[in-house]
Amino acid sequence: MGPQHPSTHGVLRLKLLLDGETVKNVEPVIGYLHRNAEKICELDYYCDSLIYFDRMDYVAAMNMEIGYLEAAEKLLAIEPPERVKWIRVVMAELNRLASHLVWAGAFGLDLGMLTPFFYFFEEREKILNLFTEICGSRQETNYMSIGGVYQDFNDKIIFKIKQFLKQFPKKMEEAYSLFIKNDIFISRTKGIGILEPEVALSYGVTGPMLRASGVPYDVRKDAPYLVYDKLNFDVPISRGKDVLARCIVRFEEMRQSVKILNQALDKIPDGPYFNPKAKKSLMIRLRGEGDVYARTESPKGEFGVHLVGDGTVKPYRLHVRSPAFKNLSILPYLSRDVLIADMVAISGSIDLVFGEVDR
Amino acid sequence: MIEVKEIKPPRRIPFFGMISGMFTVFRHAFQKPVTVQYPEKREDQGDRFRYRIYLSTEDCVGCTLCEQVCPNLSITMMMLDKDNPRNKRKIYPSVNFGTCTVCRNCEEICPTDAIYLKGVFETSRTRNSFFYNPLELEKNEEEVRR
Amino acid sequence: MNILTRIATILGFLGHFPAYALAYLIETLVVIIFGTVAVAGMVYLFRKYMARVQIRVGPNRVGKFGILQVMADGLKLFQKESIMPSGRDDLPYKMAPVIVFIGLMMGFVFIPYGPLVWFGNLTVTHSDVSLVILFALIAIMPIGEILSGITSNNKYAMLGALRGVAKDISFEVPMMLSILSVVIMASANVSNPLDINGIVQAQSIPFIILEPLGFLIFFISMTARASFSPFDMGESDSELVTGNTTEYSGLRFGMFYLGLFGTIFLGSMIISSIYLGGYYGPFVGYFGFIWLMVKTLVLVIISLTVWLTMPRVRIDKFVTFGWKVLLPLSFLQLVVAGFLTLGGIS
Look at residue C71 and tell me whether its pLDDT is greater than 50: yes
Look at residue C210 and tell me whether its pLDDT is greater than 80: no
Q: What is the pLDDT of residues C257-285, one digit of tens each?
A: 888 888 888 888 888 888 887 777 777 66
The 3-class SS string of chain A reads CCCCCCCCCCCCEEEEEEECCEEEEEEEECCCCCCCHHHHHHCCCCHHHHHHHHCCCCCCHHHHHHHHHHHHHHHHCCCCCHHHHHHHHHHHHHHHHHHHHHHHHHHHHHHCCCCHHHHHHHHHHHHHHHHHHHHCCCCCCCCEECCEECCCCCHHHHHHHHHHHHHHHHHHHHHHHHHHCCHHHHHHHCCCCCCCHHHHHHHCCCCHHHHHCCCCCCHHHHCCCCCHHHCCCCEEECCCCCHHHHHHHHHHHHHHHHHHHHHHHHHCCCCCCECHHHCHHHHHHCCCEEEEEEEEEECCEEEEEEEEEECCCCEEEEEEECHHHHHHCCHHHHCCCEEHHHHHHHHHHCCCCHHHHHC
Counting the structural domains of chain C, the total is 1
- Higher pLDDT pick, A258 / C57: A258
List of chains touching C (3+ CB pairs within 8 A): A, B
Confidence (pTM) = 0.86
Q: What is the pLDDT of residues A176-194, one digit of tens each?
A: 888 888 888 888 888 888 8
Identify whether C312 is part of a domain. yes
Beta carbons of C239 and A341 less than 8 Å apart? yes
Query: Which residues in chain C (25-84) have CB-CB distances under 8 A to chain B?
Result: 49, 51-57, 60
Confidence class of residue A4 from pLDDT cuts 50, 70 and 90?
A: low
Identify whether C62 is part of a domain. no
Mean pLDDT over the full length of chain A: 83
Identify whether C72 is part of a domain. no
Query: Which residues in chain A (135-154) have CB-CB distances under 8 A to chain B?
Result: 135-137, 140, 142, 145, 150-151
Interface contact B125, partner A, CB < 8 A: no
C11-15, C26-30, C176-180: range with lowest mean pLDDT: C11-15
What is the model's pLDDT at position C239?
66
Residue B27's closest chain C neighbor by CA? C53
Interface contact A7, partner C, CB < 8 A: yes
Q: What is the pLDDT of residues C214-245, one digit of tens each?
A: 888 888 888 888 777 777 776 666 666 777 77
| For residues A60-66, average pLDDT | 86
A286-300, B3-17, B47-61: range with lowest mean pLDDT: B3-17
A84-88, A93-97, C205-209: range with lowest mean pLDDT: C205-209
Cβ-based contacts under 8 A for chains B and C: 36
Q: Please give the CATH number for the structural domain made up of A13-358.
A: 1.10.645.10
Look at residue A261 and tell me whether its pLDDT is greater than 70: yes
- Nearest-neighbour CA in chain B from C57: distance (Å): 6
What is the model's pLDDT at position B2?
53
Residues of C with CB under 8 A from a CB of A: 50, 53-56, 159, 162-163, 229-230, 232-233, 236-241, 307-317
Q: What is the pLDDT of residues B80-133, one digit of tens each?
A: 887 778 877 888 888 888 888 888 888 888 888 888 888 777 777 777 777 888
β-pairing, A235-237 vs B4-6, is parallel
Beta carbons of B21 and C51 less than 8 Å apart? no
Identify whether C203 is part of a domain. yes
Q: How far apart are CA A24 and CA A335, in angstroms?
A: 8
What is the model's pLDDT at position A76?
82
Interface-testing mutation among B3, B6, B16, with chain A (most A C-beta atoms within 10 A): B6
Q: Output Rg (C-alpha) for chain C, integer angstroms.
A: 21
Give the torsion sign (CA, C311, C320, C170, C339). negative
Look at residue A128 and tell me whether its pLDDT is greater than 60: yes
Mean pLDDT over the full length of chain C: 80
What is the model's pLDDT at position A199?
87
Q: How far apart are CA A303 and CA A285, in angstroms?
A: 27
| Nearest by CB: C309 against B22, B30, B37 | B22
Q: How far apart are CA C207 and CA C211, in angstroms?
A: 6
Confidence class of residue A285 from pLDDT cuts 50, 70 and 90?
A: confident
* CB contacts, 8 Å: A20 with chain C: 162
Residue B7's closest chain A neighbor by CA? A238
What is the model's pLDDT at position C237?
63
Q: How far apart are CA C68 and CA C87, in angstroms?
A: 37
* CB contacts, 8 Å: C52 with chain B: 28-30, 33
Q: What are phi and psi of A145, to 5 degrees?
A: -145, 170
Look at residue A280 and tell me whether its pLDDT is greater than 70: no
* CB contacts, 8 Å: B15 with chain A: 183
What is the model's pLDDT at position B1?
43
Residue B62 vs residues A217, B56, B105, C24, C296: alpha-carbon distances, Å: 52, 11, 16, 87, 74
A98-102, A304-308, C3-7: range with lowest mean pLDDT: C3-7
Q: How far apart are CA C3 and CA C115, in angstroms?
A: 9
Q: What is the pLDDT of residues C282-330, one digit of tens each?
A: 776 677 778 888 888 888 888 888 888 888 888 888 888 888 888 888 8
| Nearest by CB: A181 against B20, B48, B111 | B20
Look at residue A99 and tell me whether its pLDDT is greater than 80: yes
What is the model's pLDDT at position A344?
81
Q: What is the pLDDT of residues C28-51, one digit of tens each?
A: 888 888 888 888 888 888 888 888
Look at residue A268 and tell me whether its pLDDT is greater than 50: yes
Identify whether C61 is part of a domain. no
Task: Give the count of beta carbons closer than 10 Å to the beta carbon of residue B108.
Answer: 18
The answer to whether the bond into C112 is cis (omega within 30° of 0) is no
Is the predicted ipTM greater than 0.85, yes or no? no
Look at residue C179 and tell me whether its pLDDT is greater than 50: yes
Percent of chain A topping pLDDT 90: 0
Per-residue DSSP letter, C235: G
Confidence class of residue A10 from pLDDT cuts 50, 70 and 90?
A: low
How is chain A split into domains, by residue range? 13-358
SS3 C137: helix
Q: How far apart are CA C52 and CA B29, in angstroms?
A: 5
Identify whether C85 is part of a domain. no
Quote the domain boundaries for residue C222: 90-342
Centroid of chain to Cα A234? 18
Q: How far apart are CA A347 and CA A10, in angstroms?
A: 12
Q: What is the pLDDT of residues A73-92, one digit of tens each?
A: 888 888 888 888 888 888 88
Q: Which residues contact A284 (CB under 8 A, 6 or more apart)?
A: A45, A47, A313, B65, B68, B69, B109
| For residues A21-34, average pLDDT | 81
Per-residue DSSP letter, C281: S
Give the dihedral of Cα atoms C82, C85, C90, C94; nearest 10 deg: -40
